[in-house]
Amino acid sequence: MKNDIQLFPGERVDELYANDIKIIQSSEVFSFSLDAVLLADFTKPVLKKKGRIVDLCSGNGAVGLFLAKKTRAHITQVEVQPRLADMAQRSISLNKLSEQVSTLNIDLNDIFGQLSKDSIDTITCNPPYFANQPTSKKNPNPYLAIARHESSATLAQIISTISSLLKMGGKMYMVHRPDRLQEILRLLDSLRLVPKRIRLVFPKKEREANMVLIEAIKDGNPGGLRFVPPIVVYDENNQYLPEVRRVLYGTD
C-alpha cells in the first residue's frame, strides 16, 4: 500500500521528477520509457478546461499523466489491456488527478461507443511499433507482444481512428520508428491529417535516428511542414544530454 493505493506483487512506483508524477509500473508488463516522456514534451495540447484530450494506446497511462501538468483539459486514456488500464487508473488516483484524467479499458474498434466523432481537440499516441507479420518474432510475454506488435489494431486503423475522433483543426501527436515514417505520412495524407512538425530522436550524435515525433492537424492547410532541431539522447559517456535531463528531471 502506498498513499492508500494498492500495489500488487511485482509492482513498483516510479517517478518522472520533471513533472512530479508517480506511475505504477511492473517488470511483468510494458513499462513507460523515454519515448512516452518525449511524446508528452513534444505535444502542445489544448489548454482550456473545456478542451478534450485522448491518449490512444495509453499503456499504464504515462503520456496522459505527464500531459496533466501542461493543461487544464480533460484527458481520456484508452488502453485495450485490462491489467495496464487498471495500473493507469490507480496511478491517476495516486497523483490525485481523478477529476482531470480517466481511463477507458476498451478495444479501438469499440471506441465510438464511448467517444464521439469530431469531438476531440488533441490526440496523442504511442502505438505498437511493429507490423503484425506472420513471420515476425514476438515477445513470449503477451503484455509486451501486444504493446509492441499491431496484433489488436494496425497502424492504418489507429490513424483512421485518430482522424475520426479529432475536430477540424484538432492536432495529433505520435511517436514511432523512422523506418515507418513514409507509411505514416501516406496514411496521414489519405485521412485528412496534414503533418506540420517532425522531430527526429538520435540515441547518440553518430548513430541513426531511432524515434520520430510527428505533429499533424486535421484538415490543416497544405504545406508548411517543419523539421525542427533533433534530440540527441546520450553523450559519448552514455550520460543524458541537457534536453533529455530537462524532460526527465526538470534540470539541465
Q: Is residue 153 domain-resident? A: yes
* 52-61, 126-135, 140-149, 228-237: segment of lowest average pLDDT: 140-149
Cell of 231: 534530440
Which pLDDT tens digit goes with each residue over 200-243? 999 999 999 999 999 999 999 999 999 999 999 999 999 999 99
Q: Which domain holds residue 185?
A: 11-249
Q: Is residue 6 domain-resident? A: no
Q: Is residue 52 domain-resident? A: yes
Give the count of domains, the chain: 1
Q: Is residue 128 domain-resident? A: yes
CATH of the domain at 77: 3.40.50.150
More confident residue, 132 or 121: 121
Which pLDDT tens digit goes with each residue over 158-205? 999 999 999 999 999 999 999 999 999 999 999 999 999 999 999 999
Distance of CA 152 to the CA centre of its chain: 16
More confident residue, 251 or 24: 24
Q: What is the spatial distance between Cα 153 and Cα 132, in angstroms, rounded to a whole number?
A: 9
Q: Is residue 5 domain-resident? A: no
Cell 506540420 identifies what position?
196
Q: Is residue 4 domain-resident? A: no
Q: What is the mean pLDDT of the chain?
A: 91
Q: What is the DSSP string of 94-109?
A: HTT-TTTEEEE---GG
- Average pLDDT of the residues in 145-156: 64
Q: Is residue 1 domain-resident? A: no
Q: Other CB atoms closer than 10 Å to residue 235's CB: what's the count?
A: 13
C-alpha dist (Å) from residue 114 to 72, 81, 119, 166, 218: 21, 17, 11, 14, 21
Cell of 20: 512530479
